[in-house]
Structure 1
Amino acid sequence: MGNNAWREGERRQEEADFRTRTHTYPEARAIMTRIYLVRHGTTEWNREEIFRGRVDCPLDETGRAEARAVAARLQGLPIGGIYTSPLARAVQTAEAVAAGREIPVQAEPAFIDLDFGEWQGHSLKEIRERYPGLYRAWRERPQEVTFPGGENLLQVRARAEEGLLRVARENPERTVLIVSHRVITKILVCVALGLDNSHFWQIRQDTTAVN
């Protein structure tokens, strides 16, 4: 199947999935919830360009400073709920924002990072050498890649979008913060903009970026 046909098939499937969701959850079309998406702070593996995925890396000194800075930036927001990936780097960032607010930080598995499978724990240099073809596909056609022993972006989009809808339903008329990972945030931005997963690399998310 050619790339164009594959992409068209994915687009039609995503549209069908959306119609199913809005039929199943008609209230999703009427919920007025303001949601802020924040990427976690820096970890040692971020600096060393090691694929993290589901590996539970804590924030390093820079990441902790970034978390305090984003907390200060968001201080004036009337945040009514804080949700986070269950991984430490996201939880620590969320806890920095929650400090001084009487709001519990709620871990939500739907927002956990992409499972990079066999790539996790390996440096970018190692991956380029061991998986040259797959790495090239990841950079050029991310929507087509399934990581060996891991996930693909369509799977991530399904769970992250369902988590987003659930958060919206649970928090009508409130401002909510979701702290997660680069992949999750980029995918949810694609969802919000009505873009398919082929636009993944067109969206940039630095550590503690706010959307």
Structure 2
Amino acid sequence: MTRILLTRHGHVDGIRPARFRGRAELPLTARGLAQADALARRIAGRWKPSAVYTSAMQRCIVTGRRVAEMCGIRASVHGGLGDIDYGAWQMRTHEEVAQEAPDAYRLWRQAPHLLRFPGGESLQDVVARTADALRLVMAQHGSETVVLVGHDSVNRALLLQLLDQPLSAYWKLAQDPCGLSEIEISGAGDVRVGFLNDTSHLEGIV
């Protein structure tokens, strides 16, 4: 059985008010660093992961490094965990996009699986990348615990695959900064979800 501990990077600027961050390099804020440390303490205190895989974005690398160091293991980058490419929408606020491209923005909110971001990716592209990450984990860590550090959109795509849900259900899954989900996958491919987006370890961090 493979156990996946799925988490998102810590807090960065551009989450509130919301921007399409995507491939923009954003450092963790002081709050984000505190969240990463709290996440690392929780993981190290309960599990013994054998590997940490992160997106290539620095906000994920730093979060994953905190976890890996506390667990006494190394963290590696996996390209499949990279954030979605928002193309022309990158670093625009949601309000700006809603005003300038109301039909496309409405589609993103109501039927996200039907949209391709102008000059960027679609959710189907993200699913293909994240499926590669899942295959790697299952092939190389068949009876181990692995930590995956990704992004809001990427983690939703991973969870939808694991839960056998359609991409149209994208907005039904919340992924908060440094929230933690536990998923177990048997050798036969049976999936059991222990918990989703648990943030209890972040209590008291402002």
Give the TM-score of the pair, scaled to structure 1. Answer: 0.83
User: For residues 37-76 of structure 1, what are the structure 2 equivalents within 5 Å?
Assistant: 37-75=6-44, 76=46
Aligned pairs (5 A) from 1:36-115? 36-75=5-44, 76-115=46-85
Shift of 1:102: 2.7
Rounded to whole Å, the distance in 2 between the matches of 1:79 and 1:181 is 20
With 142-151 and 92-101 compared, the bigger mean Cα shift is at: 92-101
Cα distance between partner residues in 2 of 1:125 and 1:119: 11
Listed as ranges, the gaps of 5+ residues in structure 1 are 1-31
Gaps of 5+ in 2: 182-206
The reply to whether residue 206 of structure 1 matches residue 192 of structure 2 is: no
Q: How do 1:146-165 residues align onto structure 2 when only pairs under 5 Å count?
A: 146-165=116-135
Is structure 2 residue 16 aligned with structure 1 residue 34? no
Deviation at 1:101, TM superposition (A): 2.8
Which AA in structure 1 matches 2:37?
Answer: R
Give SS of 2:35's match: helix
The corresponding residue for 2:196 is: none
Sequence identity (%): 34
Q: Which has the larger radius of gyration?
A: 1
- 1:137-176 aligned within 5 A: 137-176=107-146
The letter of the residue matching 1:109 is G
2:150 corresponds to which residue?
180
SS in 2 for 1:208: coil
> Does residue 119 in structure 1 map to residue 89 in structure 2?
yes
CA distance in 1, matches of 2:18, 2:164: 30
Give the match for residue 19 of structure 1: none
Runs of 4+ in 1 over 4 A off after TM superposition: none
What is the one-letter code of the residue matched to 1:207? P
Q: What are the residue-to-residue correspondences of 1:128-143 with 2, within 5 Å?
A: 128-143=98-113
Distance in 2 between residues matched to 1:85 and 1:100, nearest whole Å = 19
CA distance in 1, matches of 2:106, 2:130: 25
Tell me the distance in 2 between the aligned counterparts of 1:115 and 1:70.
Answer: 26
Letter in 1 for 2:138: A
Letter in 1 for 2:116: T
Give the drift of 1:146. Answer: 0.3
**One-letter amino acid matched to 1:120:** Q
TM-score (norm 2): 0.85
Q: Could you say what secondary structure the match of 2:180 adopts? A: coil
Partner Cα distance (1:126, 1:35) in 2: 37
**What secondary structure is seen at the aligned counterpart in 2 of 1:45?**
coil
Q: CA offset at residue 42 of structure 1?
A: 0.7
